[in-house]
Amino acid sequence: MEVSNRSSPATLPQVDINLPSPLKNDDSLSTISGLSEVPSDIIIKSRIKYGSRWSACKGLIMEYSKNTTIHGLRYLVELHRPFYEKLYWFIVLVISVYFAISLIWATYLKWQDTPVILGFDETLVPVHKIPFPTITICPEIKMERNVFDFTNFSSRILEEIQKYGSIENYEDLSDTDFERFMSTLHICETEVVQRFAKYLPKNFSHNITQTLVDISISKNETGPFCKWNGRFYFCDKIFNFVATDEGICYQFNGLQAKDIYRDVSFLNYYDEEVVDFNNFFEPLKRFNELTGNWSLDDGYVGQGYNSYPQRTVFSSARNGFFAFLQGFQHNFEYACRSFKQGYKVFLTSPESVPVTTSNYILLPHGDEVMVSVLPHYVISTDNLHDFSPEKRQCYFNDERYLRYFRSYSQSNCQVECLTNFTINKCGCAKFWMPKPQDVPVCGVENIACYDTAQSELSILIQNQTMQATMDPNAKIICDCMPACTSLDYNVEISSARYELNKTLQAFREVYEHPDFLGSRLSVYFKEHQFTAIKRTVLFSIATLIANWGGILGLFMGISSLSLIELVYFFSVRLYDNLRKRRQTKKRLMKLEADHEN
C-alpha cells in the first residue's frame, strides 16, 4: 500500500509499511484508510519517526503506555480499542489513582503526627539493672528545741513589736538566735512570715542553709538505725543532708553533688560527709571495691555487686531499705509550720533532685508504712534522633543543655527553670536553689517575691500549656519535656499503727526517752523483674516508603522500576527519537535535492 506525498511528486523510499514521509501537520496516521489492519507498533514508530511534532509526541506517549508496567494505562491509549473499552479503563484508572492518593496522604499525615509509639519492651528487665530509688526523708520537725526554740523566740519578737513598734532594740535577743529566727522563716508558713516581715531588718547577711543544718536534728537522732540489703547500719553512715524547698532533709542513695551539678559552687550548701560505699560489705572483702560508673543512658558500666548508686538483686522487703525513725514531742513545732507532724518521703531517680511540690509519701509519727516499688523505666531507640523533640515528645541528654545540671531530666529542668525565673524576677535565688556565684541568696525581705514568682510561673505554664492544645506553634516557657530515657518509681503503700511502747513492753525493754514516737519505713521492689516501656519509631522513612510502594503496587502496579522507566522514556528514549528524526529529515532533504537536480 502506498500513500502519495502531497508536497512533492517525487516517489520516496519505502519504509516499513511503504509510507513515504514526512506527513503534513493535518494528516494523522490513525485516520488513513486501511491502517486498521496495521500493527500498532508500526504505526507508533512511524508517528515518532515521520509524523509531525504533535504526532511524534503522541506516538512517544503511546509507546510508553504500551510498554510501561503501570496497570491499565496501555488500554487507555491503544489504537484499535473501541471507545467503550477506553472509557471503562479510564474510570478504573481514576478510581485507582483516587484511592492510592487518599491512602498515601493518610499515611503521610500519620507519619507527620505520630511518628513515635510507646510500647512494652520485648524482654523483662531485672531490678539489678537499675539503681534502687533515691529516698529523701523530710521531717516536719525542722529544729532541735534545745538548740533553738522558735515558739519562744517568736513570742519575744512579738512582744518587742507590741512594746516598741519595731524590733530595732533587740533587748536581750542574741544575734545567734536572731540569725536562726531569720533563717527559719524561709521554711515557715506564709502567714507566719507576713506577721514579721515588715519589721525585720533588710539585707541581713547570714548563711541560711548552714544555719538550718546547724539547728536541725542530727541524722542519728532522727534515724537511730537503718537496714539496707539485709545488713544493719547506723543511719548517719548512709544518710546525707540535702537542702530542699522543705528545708533540710535526709537522703539515702543519692548521687553526690559533684555528680549531679556541673559545679558544686552553684550550691549554697552541700554535705561534704560523703557516704563511704567501700565499707558497705566490710566482712566480704571481695565486694568492697567500687569500679566503673552509672548513667541513665548507659546503665551500670564495669560495676560489680557493690555499686554507686546502690542496687539490689532481690525484691523482698528483707533486701530493701528499712529505717526506724523517731520524733520527740518536745520538739514538735506549731508556731512555724502547720499542725501536720511526721515525715514526707520522696522517691526519685539518683540523677534528679527531689521536687518537693510533686507527689510524696506521708509517714506519720507512730505509723509503719511499707512502700512497694514498681519501676517505670522508659528507654528510646537511637533512630529517634531522626525526629525533632516536638514529634517524639522527649529530649535526649545531648539535645537539651542545662546550665546547672550534668544530666537532663524533667525535674532538673523544672528546678532550673524555676531558679532562672526567680532570679529574673527577684534578683536572688532561694536558699536551696543552684545559682551562679554572683547571684545572692534571697533574704526574708524577698520571701514574698520568690513565693509570688513560683505561683506566677505555675500559672504561666498552665496557661501556655492550654494555649498549646489549640495552637501547636505556641511556646511554653520552660519546655521541660520528659527525658527520652527516664526512670521513675510507681509505688503501692500499705500502713498500720505502730505501737512502740507496747512492743518494748513485750520485749521487756525500757527506752531512755519518755516522750518519743517511733515510725518505721520500708521500701522495696515489688518484683524481681519488670517490664520496661520502649519508645520506638512507628514510621521511619524506610517504613513510609515501603507503605507508599505497597499502596501504589496494590492499586496501580507501580514499583521503583516504573519510575525509572518513566524517566528513561522521557529522557534517553526521547533523545534517541529526536536524533533519529533529525537523521531522517536530513536524508529526505538530501533525496529531494538530488531529485531536483
**What are the two backbone dihedrals, phi and then psi, of residue 381, each rounded to the nearest 5 degrees?**
-80, 155
pTM of the model: 0.76
Which stretches of the chain drop beneath a pLDDT of 50? 1-35, 286-287
DSSP state for residue 261 in the 8-state scheme: B
How remote is the C-alpha of 442 from its chain's centroid?
Answer: 32
What's the pLDDT at 41? Answer: 62
What's the pLDDT at 427? Answer: 94
What's the pLDDT at 94? Answer: 86
Grid coordinates standing for 550? 505497597
Residues in the chain, overall count: 597
Q: Where are the domains of the chain?
A: 29-109+554-596, 123-537
The closest of 47, 45, 57, 50 to 12, measured between CA atoms, is 50
In sequence order, what DSSP letters do the residues of 520-562 get, joined into one string? Answer: EEEEEES-SEEEEEEEEESS-HHHHHHHHHHHHHHHH---HHH
Supply the angle between the helices 560-569 and 572-596 in degrees, to the nearest 10.
20
Q: Strands 239-244, 225-228: parallel, antiparallel or unpaired by DSSP?
A: unpaired
pLDDT in tens, 216-271: 998 888 888 899 988 888 898 899 999 998 899 999 999 989 999 999 999 988 88
Give the whole-angstrom CA distance, residue 349 versus residue 255: 9
At residue 286, the 3 state secondary structure works out as helix
**What are the two backbone dihedrals, phi and then psi, of residue 583, each rounded to the nearest 5 degrees?**
-65, -40
- Residue partners of 483: CB distance under 8 A and separation at least 6: 296, 394, 395, 396, 397, 408, 409, 410
Give the whole-angstrom CA distance, residue 424 versus residue 421: 5
Give the whole-angstrom CA distance, residue 212 versus residue 243: 9
Give the whole-angstrom CA distance, residue 154 versus residue 180: 11
Place of cell 550534668: 406
Give the whole-angstrom CA distance, residue 259 versus residue 212: 24
- Are the C-beta atoms of 63 and 77 separated by less than 8 Å? no
pLDDT in tens, 95-122: 888 888 888 888 888 777 778 888 898 8
- Are the C-beta atoms of 493 and 526 separated by less than 8 Å? no
Question: Can you point out the beta strands (E) in 318-402?
Answer: 321-328, 343-348, 361-363, 367-380
Give the whole-angstrom CA distance, residue 543 versus residue 111: 10
What's the pLDDT at 321? Answer: 95
What's the pLDDT at 15? Answer: 41
What's the pLDDT at 20? Answer: 42
Give the whole-angstrom CA distance, residue 63 versus residue 27: 20
Measured at the CA of 359, the angle between CA 458 and CA 258, to 5 degrees, comes to 85
Give the whole-angstrom CA distance, residue 358 versus residue 372: 19
What's the pLDDT at 288? Answer: 52
- Are the C-beta atoms of 208 and 441 separated by less than 8 Å? yes
Q: Which CATH architecture has domain 123-537?
A: Sandwich (2.60)
What's the pLDDT at 39? Answer: 60
- Residue partners of 268: CB distance under 8 A and separation at least 6: 207, 208, 209, 243, 431, 432, 435, 441
Grid coordinates standing for 253? 542513695
**What are the two backbone dihedrals, phi and then psi, of residue 529, each rounded to the nearest 5 degrees?**
-135, 160
